Chains A and B, each alone.
Chain A
Amino acid sequence: MLEATGLGLSAGGRELVRALDLALAPGQCWGLLGRNGAGKTSLILALAGLRAPQSGAIALDGVPLAAVRRVELARRVALLLQDEHSDFWGSVLDYVMLGRYPRSRSAFGRDEEGLRGARRWLAELDLADREAQAYRTLSGGERQRARIAQVLVQDADILLLDEPLQHLDLRHQAIVMRTLAARAAEGKAVLTALHEPGHAARHCAFSVLLYDAGRASLGRSSDMLTQANLEALYRCRLEAAGEWSFLPS
Chain B
Amino acid sequence: MKAAPAVVLALIPASLALAIAFGSVDLGPGQLGDALLGRGDEIAREIIWGVRAPRALAAFACGGLLALAGTLLQVLLRNPLADPAILGVSGGAAAGALAAMLFGAAAGGVNLSALAGAAVAAGAVFSFSLGRSGWNPYRVLLTGVALASGFGALVGLMLAIAPSSQVQGMLFWLLGDLSPAGDPAAALAVLAACAALAFSQSAALDVLILGEDKARSLGVAVTRLQAIAFGCATLATVAAVLLGGAIGFVGLVVPHLLRLSGVHRHRALLPLATCLGGSLLALADTLARTVAAPAELPVGVLTAMIGVPVLLVLLARLR
Contact = CB atoms under 8 A, between A and B. Distances in A.
Interface of A: 45, 48-50, 70-75, 77-79, 81, 84-86, 88-90, 98-99, 101-102, 105, 107-108, 154
B182 to A, nearest CB: 35
Given A84-B214, A107-B267, A70 B207 contact: no
14 contacts: A50-B213, A70-B216, A71-B219, A71-B220, A72-B219, A73-B219, A79-B214, A81-B211, A81-B213, A84-B210, A88-B209, A89-B264, A98-B206, A108-B267
Interface of B: 199, 202-204, 206-207, 209-211, 213-214, 216-221, 259, 264, 267
A108 B265 CA distance: 11
B212 to A, nearest CB: 9
Given A89-B259, A89-B264, A107-B267, A74 B209 contact: no
Contact of A101 (B199, B211, B218, B259): B218
A98 B219 CA distance: 11
Given A86-B210, A101-B203, A81 B264 contact: no
A49 B219 CA distance: 11
Nearest to A74: B219
A195 to B, nearest CB: 21
A73 B216 CA distance: 9
Nearest to B221: A70
B210 A70 contact: no
A72 B267 CA distance: 23
B218 A107 contact: no
B202 A107 contact: yes
Contacts of B259: 89
Given A50-B217, A105-B203, A107-B203, A98 B267 contact: no
A101 B217 contact: no
B214 A81 contact: yes
Contact of A154 (B216, B218, B267): B218
Query: Which of A45, A98, A107 gathers the greatest number of chain B CB atoms within 10 Å?
Result: A107
Contacts, number: 62
Contacts of B220: 70-71, 101
A122 to B, nearest CB: 18
Contact of A102 (B199, B211, B219, B267): B219
Contacts of B264: 89-90
B210 A88 contact: yes
A50 B209 contact: no
Nearest to A71: B219
Contacts of B211: 81, 84-86
A49 B264 CA distance: 30
Secondary structure call for the B interface: helix
B295 to A, nearest CB: 44
B217 A75 contact: no
Nearest to B267: A107
A133 B202 CA distance: 24
A97 B216 CA distance: 16
Contacts of A105: 203
**6 tightest A-B CB contacts, nearest first:** A74-B219, A71-B219, A102-B219, A79-B217, A89-B264, A107-B267
Contacts of A101: 203-204, 206-207, 218-220
Given A98-B218, A108-B267, 20 more contacts: A48-B217, A70-B216, A70-B220, A70-B221, A71-B221, A74-B219, A77-B217, A81-B211, A81-B214, A84-B211, A88-B209, A90-B264, A98-B206, A98-B207, A101-B203, A101-B206, A101-B219, A101-B220, A102-B219, A107-B203
A102 B210 contact: no
A149 B203 CA distance: 19
A190 to B, nearest CB: 15
Contacts of B217: 48, 50, 74, 77-79, 81
A49 B218 CA distance: 12
Contacts of A48: 217
A154 B204 CA distance: 15
Given A88-B210, A89-B259, A105-B203, A99 B219 contact: no
Contact of A50 (B203, B210, B216, B219): B216
A50 B214 CA distance: 9
Nearest to A104: B203
Contacts of A98: 206-207, 210, 218
Contacts of A74: 217-219
A152 to B, nearest CB: 13
Query: Which of B203, B216, B218 gathers the greatest number of chain A CB atoms within 10 Å?
Result: B218
Nearest to A77: B217
